[in-house]
Structure 1
């Protein structure tokens, strides 16, 4: 009886937190819509336009590094001020970043846009550090994996609909005679400012359970004695970098005459497919890695879930069935990959990374719709990479687990640096050939999966999730 009432008591806090996951997923994916807009507005090179991702994801690294240093010398700040206050601070900082889009757009200063993105990224860093562990504490320990997967699914929902809503506002609603006005970024981000402040007010008013840890953080860098963590830091770096590289270039890539020649207002829908694929894969991953479901029932549930989430995405995007049906082929390949992986995180990671590398190579050496669909299909295989890499990296770390986790979060720096590398290559050799950057990323991830499969064996599938 007490367990039931306890779970009911956690419902409102959990719903509040899933809203946070949704919003930071939404705003993160808005960067992919901003890039082509700002590139055209300021007449930027591809390298210069990738400073959007450099500023945003660079904030994750700077924020995590500062947090790590403070934790080392002064103790864990979130543990001192409480998870609730940590999330409130993150929301307020993110709202300041959103508000700075107003003067950036009004005075048309690219540096102000980058500053706004950096501050918003710092706010999201605080939300990541506070919200992810808090979700795992809201209820029974054995249900932590399920709660984190559900919260991450809402993060993926945000990344899926952001290109549709954000793209409509920027490329269509605020366009006058085909020209995008300053209001295209002023008004949406003022609305986002209000939403973050409203969420902060509601979170402040909601009574949340107070969790504190009595453990002190380990001094030194003892976590780095574990080879799987050192290799995992690089794997997270390349995963985030590769995923962000692809998402950042999709709209400009689909505009190429030799690919599809699509206008931004149409290609935003295909960008939603790329991020929607990650949502499908995460739902399938949560089922595949469930050790309690019998094989036949698990397979049926995965197929039904894949179809259901595909239909959800179909109703979200502004495309007819003929325009989206090819995506079903890649969903089928994704299901096959899960079945071959047999619920082993390391093996599944290797399979998905090799498939992703192959799809990017098809994208580079083909044209037209083939090149478009192979790049969009990669979202399905990105889906479980974050959680599987994270899980394998911290496996067996014991008292160094928290330290290892913070080092992995710092590796999100890949999302800041690798798009710059691809931008420079795009300026020199064209967008299509610049996709060799994510090819190298996925090949390293495949190596990491093979290494963990050999050294760690079939680690029990404990999903450690959280949008990046």
Structure 2
């Protein structure tokens, strides 16, 4: 027999019009966080070809950047969920800001020492702070208003995350990749100016601290979860991972993030292939912005569409679209191969917020724990690109693109079947 599913009361402490205004103010404040961590995360797509050239790394070795960055989600997310449950959403976000700022500042000594290991360590600290921010902010947005519009609300905030991912490659190309010679010019690697990353990350660290100071002065509304008296009988004995739609959603986040990062992290090298476009690093880096910009456009549109159509059907539709576009890219050349791959960003747009809100639906007081589990699954951004790199080293970038297709097929299945709330596991 299916165990009854708990619900969220989804109301602020107090139900006055002033509280409703605080809802809007809180959502606006949290949206700035989504923008910033989108910007930071997408700079990895610039760092990978940059450090790959400097340290003469293979694709697999270069993807240690993703392993360290997204591996932090695996190690930190569950402790972060417990931290947020204990100190609250606002304090959790403030702690995340400070940790992320420390990681950004560590880029300065890493560049000074010209040590790849120090770069990886700095990325891990930076990602740990971003993880805490995500664990606190994602469920906060999801429950900051009516449950029926949760997917649309999180999609809207994710659109500003995509704005950050759109701008990051443009600035990263101008400030960092512009210092690189042609990617196949190994002889000049030792002469590349590695200090190009110092100023951008010092600025990022300072901005993180400034935003945390601003956030500390904002009164965020307190969210009440359903009490045990509000939940159905028997639900109090369950844990978050007892819910089938959540567990399958964790796999969905793993697959989606892995596919998105695997493609995004290798666009520069893919577009540099002679049978694709043969672009130089700076020009190819600018094209990365279009991949993430397409996701931004899709999320702004999705905030509207998710109020008109079933989230499950839109999720499946986008996953099928991603599969078709990747298949077109790997079977064509020139502009068609480039634009079809960049258009995958549009299909990615709704996946994260839709999977997340479908997975936490009806979990009530288990929401923080569920958020920690879902953010743990972002480790897909570490493991899938690493496997992608091994395939690319041995069989080429085109064949490696089959791996994201497998991930998108699972996302399609989750939208159609896996997201249904059924018996606990």
Pick the TM interval, shorter chain. Answer: 0.7 to 0.9
CA deviations on 1:358-412 (whole Å, 9 max, x unpaired) are 2112222221111111111111111111122223334455554544333222111
Name the structure 2 match of 1:228: 245
Distance 1:360 1:167, change over 3 A: same
> What is the TM-score of this pair, normalised by structure 2?
0.84
The reply to whether residue 374 of structure 1 matches residue 340 of structure 2 is yes
Q: 1:95 aligns with which of 95, 98, 101?
A: 101
The equivalent of 1:184 in structure 2 is 196
TM-score, normalization: structure 1?
0.77
1:346 and 1:208, CA in 2 relative to 1: closer, same or farther beyond 3 A? Answer: closer
Would the aligned equivalents of 1:171 and 1:180 in 2 still touch at CA under 8 Å?
Answer: no
SS of the residue 1:19 aligns to:
helix
Q: Is the 8 A contact 2:23 2:144 kept in 1?
A: yes
Q: Of the candidates 241, 244, 261, which is equivalent to residue 278 of structure 2?
A: 261
Q: Is 2:117 aligned against 1:121?
A: no
CA spacing shift, 1:82–1:390, aligned 2, 3 Å: closer
* C-alpha deviation, 1:261, in angstroms: 0.6
* Aligned counterpart, 1:286: 303
Map Cα deviations across residues 306-339 of structure 1 (whole Å, 9 max, x no partner).
xxxxxxxxxxxxxxxxxxxxxxxxxxxxxxxxxx
Other-structure match for 1:427: 393
Q: Would the aligned equivalents of 1:353 and 1:443 in 2 still touch at CA under 8 Å?
A: yes
Structure 2 residue aligned with 1:111: 117
Shift of 1:79: 3.8
Shift of residue 10, structure 1, vs aligned partner? 5.3
Is the Cα–Cα contact under 8 Å of residues 295 and 348 in structure 2 kept in the other structure?
A: yes
Helix, strand or coil for the counterpart of 1:257? coil
1:31 to 41, 44, 47: 44
For 1:242-257, list aligned pairs within 5 A.
242-257=259-274
2:29 corresponds, among 6, 16, 22, to 16
String of CA shifts for 1:181-235, please: whole Å, max 9, x gaps: 123101111111111111122223344445566959x988644444333322211
Report the secondary structure of 2:335's partner residue.
helix
Residue in structure 1 matched with residue 154 of structure 2 by the alignment: 148
Match 1:347 to one of 313, 333, 339? 313
1:241 aligns with 2:258: yes
- Asked whether the equivalents of residues 274 and 377 of structure 1 are also in contact (C-alpha less than 8 Å), the reply is yes
Q: Deviations over 1:71-126 (max 9, x none)?
A: 3xxxxx32432332211111110011001100111111001111111101110111
Residue in 2 aligned with 1:201?
213
Please, which of 149, 174, 184 is the counterpart of residue 168 of structure 1? 174
Change over 3 Å in CA distance of 1:398–1:207 after alignment to 2? closer
Task: Tell me: CA distance 1:219–1:37, structure 2 relative to 1, closer, same or farther (3 Å).
Answer: farther
79, 86, 94: which one aligns with 1:80: 86
Alpha-carbon displacement from aligned partner over 1:36-68 (angstroms, at most 9, x marks no partner): 000001000000000111101110111113335
Aligned partners of 1:398, 1:128: CA distance in 2, in Å?
18
Aligned residues: 396
Distance 2:317 2:270 in 1: 26
Distance change (3 Å), C-alpha of 1:93 and 1:6:
same
Unaligned 5+ segments in structure 1 are: 72-76, 292-342, 458-468
Aligned-residue offset at 1:22: 0.8
**For structure 1, which segment, 90-99 or 430-439, has the greater mean C-alpha deviation from structure 2 after superposition?**
430-439
| Structure 2 CA distance for partners of 1:346 and 1:79, relative to 1, 3 Å | closer
Match of 1:443 in 2: 409
Matched, 1:276 2:293: yes
Aligned counterparts of 2:288 and 2:390: Cα–Cα separation in 1? 22
Superposed displacement of residue 180, structure 1:
4.0
Distance 1:5 1:142, change over 3 A: farther
Structure 1 Cα separation of the partners of residues 225 and 315 of structure 2: 32
Task: Output the CA distance in 2 between the equivalents of 1:344 and 1:139.
Answer: 18
Moved more, 411-420 or 349-358: 349-358
Alignment correspondent of 1:130? 136
Task: Tell me the CA shift for residue 4 of structure 1.
Answer: 4.8
1:347 to partner: Cα distance: 2.2
Structure 2 residues without counterparts, runs of 5 or longer: 1-14, 182-187, 229-234
Instruction: State the Cα distance separating 1:13 from its structure 2 match.
Output: 4.4
Cα pair 2:19 2:221 within 8 Å, conserved: no
Distance 2:247 2:144 in 1: 30
Aligned counterpart, 2:379: 413
What CA distance in whole angstroms lies between the structure 2 residues aligned with 1:194 and 1:391?
32
